[in-house]
Structure 1
């Protein structure tokens, strides 16, 4: 097995981690339209010109971070332990679950947790982000330390299961890192989620600011399946005042702009009319499937290169070297580099020597690294897995996905693509036909659903027959005591009884009282009774 070169030295984590927003006044490309004025009214009045401005607003558009009632974000303020936990839970796509959860976890300082945040702590406990030991010493209003946030993120992404203890870090303040958490720091540096500070320090006990927390959320965003449907990356195929069409290899989709869309172009606050065909773009969708945030870059100077990975450098000086024929190129990798495999974002540390990749770069920096089809990588073996449970969420907007809960209460989210076979009640259907509560079996390869077989919930109805249709497409129409009418298909599998005896549909009459068990609009059983003539 070829070795991956690991250079795990300190890299700037603070202000240098994200390029500063360079404008002090309106950018040169702004044209002063009404939409421009609307777009340039920032959501937070204290982030203009901040080094993490566009990251803060992008994370806000995704709902991961929120501001204060006075329209400020306070980026330099220390994030509290409670705030950090809430933000991580949101980034995992579990906010709805947190809002419904009741706090039953053994929290020592439970009275210090406001009612709105109690469910987030419970979900964090249920997901293993916080342990019972953590909660015994949990001080929600105390500043969150870098080492604590590193541990919580590692648990949230199950990265604590991938720790390589044999690798040693070269931080000046190694002795300040608890021995049992040395592996957590290693995995944080390997993945590029957290790095170091000038002078080869990690500063494990330094509190994290709200701006730095937003940057961490940006680095783990996209690695969480639940959030993929809210972010679309590609190139602009067309754009006008109301819509934008984004294309990427294999698909093209059109999206409407929301009324308060925020646009960034080459790091500067911009407007919709500044966007042009061919620009590289990332759009964030709101709950209505409309574009609420746009981050675009002029792709004129980009270069494409395809080949086999021959070297990977992690940590300080992170880069990837790719060889094609007799030509070999090295590309620097930073926090903005998107790495994708099978439609999912992955970490640099998850790449392997020998994989075939396509690299889009500018000035020697990799902007996008895409792992070629698994069939082209000889070292990869497709493993088929099967999951059974109940559908809890279906996302048919943008990056399509399905979330299920298994019998042990664990949630699983899988991508759905154009090749996914979807069966509902033994008939071919579309993803949008599936609903929460349906029983489901999902066949998966590399987190992508290849087959979804679902059964809709059975429902019971009672009433009086008001119409019957006989022939090739048979139906029965009933009216309930509430004067509601329902029509059901009657198939060859429908079991019919009249006064306790087996019967056919043509044995029934208008006026018979019936109890019907139905599924997805089709009658499974019809139990009819007739009054004596």
Structure 2
């Protein structure tokens, strides 16, 4: 069969628009884009590429200034919102009429978006999949797909030129910091959207938590070491939940405040990273450097609960029976005394049980810098005397193991009843259970429980 020049041109054009579930046709997931050096959207392009929402062209270009078509915008936003699996399961009945909005690829995406009313009605009139999408149309698709609203109006100098049907969406994406106006205060609703701009919008959606990424592909913590190993460059990440080691992709991007950094300079920086499909670090964003704030106070307390967030907040009951919230520093260390400091790979915080005793190292700013899970011992007995020391009635034992029966500074410990409620005093003759730590003859009382 002989192909004409026109046929070849048409075939190439179709291939360039053929992202079944991606954004641009290219089976290559690694490597460098050759045309984004110096482009303002380089960091978000590389971030979104690491996530897998965008792909380049066969010639290893990204073409950041190329306009985005209507169909490209629809498919990428549906993928970003997490609808790809649901769309992949859609099946058309054999006798079903043809779609009222036929497209050259991604028909399921188009039909799903129409069914869910993600595409504004005005855009569906004389719909052309290959036409460059306008800023107002993209705003509407984003607002509809992610169900964004704007409680307050946003004013633009060209607000009168924004079609009324699109105005709520424009205000929603503006209030959520996804699309902004130009220096002259205009929004330019009819302006085209370039691929670099769309990458920047997707990056903001990801940063704000709108794009769901498999948690196994995310890494957080602070970089303790960068090691050269047999398989490449290894990154050792520490956090309050333990230590993780990952290999870096050969083209791993590392940014701090929008500036590209050498990975070797990232030690002691707090980082949020994205792993590629091979579970290798593909993109790292450095957030802040460690300050090494010194511990000013040691607090003994019992664990109550942990609140995930930024920062993580630890709630404890101190030895005065006060419930106190402490923010945990992102570079705090967690040590289990029973494990003799071996914490690598262990999520110790989430294994804490209510009323388990800990020692907190607190900075002058009230932030927890280190957490020690204490190796607490207990002893029961009857109080024989109370003065500067508490003495228990002696018990006859043939064991050669040391068992304390005198506790100095006992009154610095917490006093509770058998239900754990605070009491004001104990007396000679009371049966008690004493919780203590420390070496023989240097025991420290944490709690005395009246039985």
1:149 partner SS: helix
CA contact (8 A) 1:105 1:125 kept: no
Matched, 1:240 2:240: no
Deviation at 1:193, TM superposition (A): 1.1
Q: Equivalent of 1:143, from 132, 147, 156? A: 132
Per the alignment, do residues 102 and 131 of structure 1 end up closer, same or farther by CA in structure 2, a change over 3 Å counting? farther
Q: What does the per-residue CA deviation read over 1:258-308, in whole Å, with 9 as the maximum and x for residues that have no partner? A: 3543334554445443331x11322111223221222336626899xxxxx
CA contact (8 A) 1:106 1:135 kept: no
Equivalent in the alignment of 2:35: 46
Deviation at 1:129, TM superposition (A): 2.4
Per the alignment, do residues 132 and 179 of structure 1 end up closer, same or farther by CA in structure 2, a change over 3 Å counting? closer
Per the alignment, do residues 225 and 56 of structure 1 end up closer, same or farther by CA in structure 2, a change over 3 Å counting? closer
CA contact (8 A) 1:102 1:122 kept: no
Gaps of 5+ in 1: 1-40, 304-341, 345-368, 379-397, 399-416, 420-533
Equivalent in the alignment of 1:156: 145
User: Highest relative contact order (Cα 8 Å, sep 6+), 1 or 2?
Assistant: 1
Aligned length, in residue pairs: 275
CA contact (8 A) 2:143 2:173 kept: yes
Matched, 1:224 2:210: yes
Per the alignment, do residues 168 and 298 of structure 1 end up closer, same or farther by CA in structure 2, a change over 3 Å counting? closer
Per the alignment, do residues 256 and 191 of structure 1 end up closer, same or farther by CA in structure 2, a change over 3 Å counting? same
CA contact (8 A) 1:236 1:246 kept: yes
CA contact (8 A) 1:236 1:247 kept: yes
Q: What does the per-residue CA deviation read over 1:24-45, in whole Å, with 9 as the maximum and x for residues that have no partner? A: xxxxxxxxxxxxxxxxx95211
Could you say what the CA RMSD is over the residues aligned between the two structures, in angstroms? Answer: 3.9
CA contact (8 A) 2:272 2:287 kept: no
Per the alignment, do residues 259 and 120 of structure 1 end up closer, same or farther by CA in structure 2, a change over 3 Å counting? farther
Q: What does the per-residue CA deviation read over 1:47-82, in whole Å, with 9 as the maximum and x for residues that have no partner? A: 011111121111111111111111111101111111
Equivalent in the alignment of 1:206: 191
Matched, 1:290 2:280: yes
Indicate the larger mover: 41-50 or 265-274: 265-274
TM-score, structure 2 length as denominator? Answer: 0.52
Per the alignment, do residues 147 and 343 of structure 1 end up closer, same or farther by CA in structure 2, a change over 3 Å counting? farther
Deviation at 1:253, TM superposition (A): 3.0
Deviation at 1:90, TM superposition (A): 2.3
Matched, 1:67 2:56: yes
Gaps of 5+ in 2: 1-29, 294-306, 317-322, 326-344, 352-451
CA contact (8 A) 2:123 2:137 kept: no
Q: Specify which structure has the higher proportion of strand.
A: 1
Rg (Cα) greater in structure: 2
CA distance in 1, matches of 2:288, 2:312: 23
Equivalent in the alignment of 1:80: 69
